[in-house]
Amino acid sequence: MFQFYQKESFFDEMFVGEDESVFPHYQGLRERLGRLDDAEISEKQRRVDTSFLEQGVTFTVYGDDRGTERIFPFDLIPRIIPDTEWRTIEQGLTQRIIALNLFLHDIYHDERIIKEGIVPEEVVKSAAHYRPEMRGVDVPKDIYIHICGTDLIRDAEGRYLVLEDNGRCPSGVSYLLENREAMKRAFPRLYRDYGVRPVDHYPELLLKTLRHLSPRPGQAPVCVLLTPGVYNSAYFEHTFLARKMGIEIVEGRDLIVLDGFVYMRTTRGLVQVDVIYRRLDDDFLDPVVFRDDSMLGVPGIMDAYLKGNVALANAVGTGVADDKVTYAYVPEMIRFYLDQDPILENVPTYLAWRDEDRQYMLENFPKLVVKAANESGGYGMLMGPTSTAAEREDFAAKIRQTPRNFIAQPVVSLSRHPTICGDNRIEGRHVDLRPFILYGEDIEIIPGGLTRVALRKGSLVVNSSQGGGSKDTWVLYH
Amino acid sequence: MLSRVADSLYWLSRYLERAENLARMVDVCRYDALDAVLGDSGETWRPILYAMCSEEAYQVARRSRSEELDVGRFITFADENPDCIRHCIAHARENARMVRDQISEEMWLELNSIHLFLQSGEAEDLWRRQPEALYREVIKFRLLFEGLIDATIPHDEGWNFIKVGKYLERADKTSRILDTLTYGDEPERGRLASAMRSCSGFSAFRGEYRGEISLRNVVGFLLFSPSFPRSVRFCVREVDRVLHAISGMPSGAFSNEAERLTGSMLAQMNFSSVENVWSVGLHRYIDGLQAQLNQIGQKVFETYVLLPSEIRNVARPEVWQIAWQQSQQQQQ
């Protein structure tokens, strides 16, 4: 199967060197795949795809009027992470989410990090998702980011680096869980023999995280998941999680605020809601406080929130922490708040609002990836090495106009992983890893994460909206 | 249960019942067209368009197309027909998608796969080669789904709303099938038999009326049979029963307008006979039934879905505006 595999100059997750030797934790996988012929692979792939489509494990493609639903392409070769490696990742992520939460509490209260000159005030206050409404507000248990999806990549030496933190509405965990189900069905014995740590308790952990926030301790809290609605790209995930947690999935129109309390409208009248896992942007949450044209929000919900009568996860205003400019300061935050060195490093980042950085960016486009500070999903990006002159000029103009909005990073040649491509040939494709971190009574990270893979040859963009797929991620017991 | 969820379950159920009834009607009609005098097959289809109130939509669709538009295709697939079978299933699935956490995995799988099938070219191919096979697929799916509703989800409030939707829709469709008999001349035996077959009630009818097929008997059977599960009376009785199961009121009493109207309609059906129908005329009588069924549907909505203060507030944003905002929410 692997006889034509080209490792090239990248860090490969499976192959050690130019010969065919693999890392020890990939040995069993290679033997198993080696026994498969083309027809068997095609058959397994077809079965997995059909099952995803029929179960509606799909996302909606934007800019397509027919609201076409597609399955998120799934690759049958799992990514495997040995225990020791995972433990480092786990410690690094734990350290990071603690620092990010301390940062959020700080900037909405004492602003120590600003006063001591670690992070410039301008960076914080000019972030698109900074919410002045949250100043001086105490959120339940002082936790802001309860659910975080942090994207990790590996560089040419195989070091794990943090690419970005998603601290508003991270998505993808449903694919992680469904991928696992699919793998268990496709390779039951291989899975059993490998000693893979399970992930299927995620919904229980999430529910526990939510219940921890209830403003009415002692009573069974009423938790709901607030979705933008069926036309949202992640709607499948919203229903998936609500179902697995056994809580109601509500839209804005199902909720109503009376005298500072939030209620849901049921066939038996109004029922008070304690905790809302909201998958709606801050902007749309409350037309009274934020965008007044929002049809998805709940008028008055911010009032109830500020009075402490309802908890929101994630808190309002967390977007300032996953701003791509703020990102550059996270290692400093870790040193400042925790007096520790970061366990997971950042990718080196140039900030266009610093004069010398901007100059460097403008002169070195072909070496850089330029990103808009507040976009996600792979939108608003310039891939320097493959960009056209026109694209570069366009970005240069935008950067000069609003430097605060842009950052740049050297092109990191993400690690590659053997992936089944056309005609069942196995080729190396670039991958990243998005673990999901839950911050409630404890900090819990389910072993693994969503491994996203850039299916197009040579591509470094793994987002589902840009031709990405995914793999199951196996964290081993040993 | 969330009001919106109750509403979605209700519509999920109504659309599926509608699709099934259409499949039955079209299939019978198509079969009858085989017996029609050459060149006259268009006439056979008339009553069904009339019963669905889609004569006009059909004419518009036909004029806008260059090739001949078959009525069967119009009722099964045509985009111009908002109530075609394919759309009914798509609407049902859209409602199911909104309440996926409330229905069983198997229900979703079956509904999603018939939806994907009807959207595919494969369904049209099958229809071209063997139309009856396609309708059988739809009917079989519906029967399977009925079984799943009863066997895979709790028989609680949501289940009751599913039943309200089903029986209201079924009562409406049976009354419409009867209404086809008021179209044109006094219906001859063939048309009476078709109406019966559309409700798959021929053998039950034979059992009850010893084979004498007359307009009077057919009307009596489809309106008033106490035990045939597609008669209007039977359906109204079920609606009455499930509405009381939802509210917890004892039968014979009422706690809201939906219950009052249903109870009153049921009493009227329980104590009426064909004589009463004849005295006002079949068509007018059926019109009256349909108006009452609509009223009940409206009152169910007002009682369980709307908050009282909203009943008069009809200004709602356009669907596309909401859809646009929903799609704009960044999922990172």
**B326 in any annotated domain:** no
The fold of A216-309 is: Rossmann fold (3.40.50)
Residue percentage of chain A with pLDDT more than 70 = 97
Distance CA A469, CA A429 (A): 10
**Which pLDDT score, from 0 to 100, does residue B308 have?**
55
- Same domain as B114, residue B16: yes
- Same domain as B248, residue B268: yes
Q: Does the pLDDT of residue B41 top 60, yes or no?
A: no
**Which pLDDT score, from 0 to 100, does residue A166 have?**
95
Contact list, B5 vs chain A (CB under 8 Å): 248
B125, B153, B181: which is the final residue of a domain? Answer: B153
**B78 in any annotated domain:** yes
Residue where the block lists tokens 């999603």: B112
**Which pLDDT score, from 0 to 100, does residue B42 have?**
63
Read off the DSSP letter of residue B104: -
> A152 forms bridges with which residues in the sheet?
A162, A433
Strands A69-71 and A58-60: antiparallel
> A149 forms bridges with which residues in the sheet?
A166, A436
B153, B173, B199: which is the final residue of a domain? Answer: B153
Distance CA B186, CA B214 (A): 11
Q: Write out the residue range of the structural domain in which residue B137 sits.
A: 1-153
Cis omega before residue B217 (within 30°)?
no
**B140 in any annotated domain:** yes
Asked whether the beta carbons of residue B4 and residue A376 sit closer than 8 angstroms, the reply is no
**B160 in any annotated domain:** yes
**B34 in any annotated domain:** yes
CATH topology agreement for domains A216-309 and A348-410: no
Q: Does the pLDDT of residue B271 top 90, yes or no?
A: yes
- Same domain as B119, residue B164: no
- Same domain as B208, residue B116: no
**B292 in any annotated domain:** yes
- Same domain as B220, residue B133: no
Asked whether the beta carbons of residue A166 and residue B101 sit closer than 8 angstroms, the reply is no
Q: How confident is the model at residue A64 (pLDDT cuts 50, 70, 90)?
A: very low
Contact list, B305 vs chain A (CB under 8 Å): 267
- Same domain as B288, residue B232: yes
Asked whether the beta carbons of residue B2 and residue A168 sit closer than 8 angstroms, the reply is no
Report domain extents, chain A.
1-198+324-347+412-478, 216-309, 348-410
- Same domain as B188, residue B275: yes
Which pair of tokens denotes residue A409?
A: 């990073």
B105, B133, B153: which is the final residue of a domain? Answer: B153
Nearest chain B residue to A247 by CA distance is: B101
- Same domain as B68, residue B53: yes
Question: How many domains, in total, are found in chain B?
Answer: 2
- Same domain as B162, residue B139: no
**B331 in any annotated domain:** no
Q: How confident is the model at residue A422 (pLDDT cuts 50, 70, 90)?
A: confident
Average pLDDT, chain A: 92
Residue where the block lists tokens 């692997």: A2
Query: CB-CB: which of A231, A234, A268 is closest to B323?
Result: A231
**B317 in any annotated domain:** no
Q: Which residue has the higher pLDDT, A192 or A3?
A: A192
**Which pLDDT score, from 0 to 100, does residue A8 have?**
86
- Same domain as B123, residue B82: yes
Mean pLDDT of all residues in A41-53: 89
Residues recorded for chain B = 332
Q: Which residue has the higher pLDDT, B54 or B260?
A: B260
- Same domain as B149, residue B3: yes
Query: CB-CB: which of B246, B307, B332 is closest to A168?
Result: B332
| DSSP 3-state of B2 | strand
Asked whether the beta carbons of residue B330 and residue A248 sit closer than 8 angstroms, the reply is no
Asked whether the beta carbons of residue B317 and residue A295 sit closer than 8 angstroms, the reply is yes
Q: Is CATH 3.30.1490.270 what the domain over A348-410 is classified as, yes or no? A: yes
Nearest chain B residue to A52 by CA distance is: B109
Is A472 in contact with A179 (CB distance < 8 Å)? yes
Distance CA B29, CA B219 (A): 19
> A418 forms bridges with which residues in the sheet?
A428
Q: How confident is the model at residue B313 (pLDDT cuts 50, 70, 90)?
A: very low
Nearest chain B residue to A293 by CA distance is: B325
**Which pLDDT score, from 0 to 100, does residue A289 have?**
94
Residue where the block lists tokens 């159920």: B13
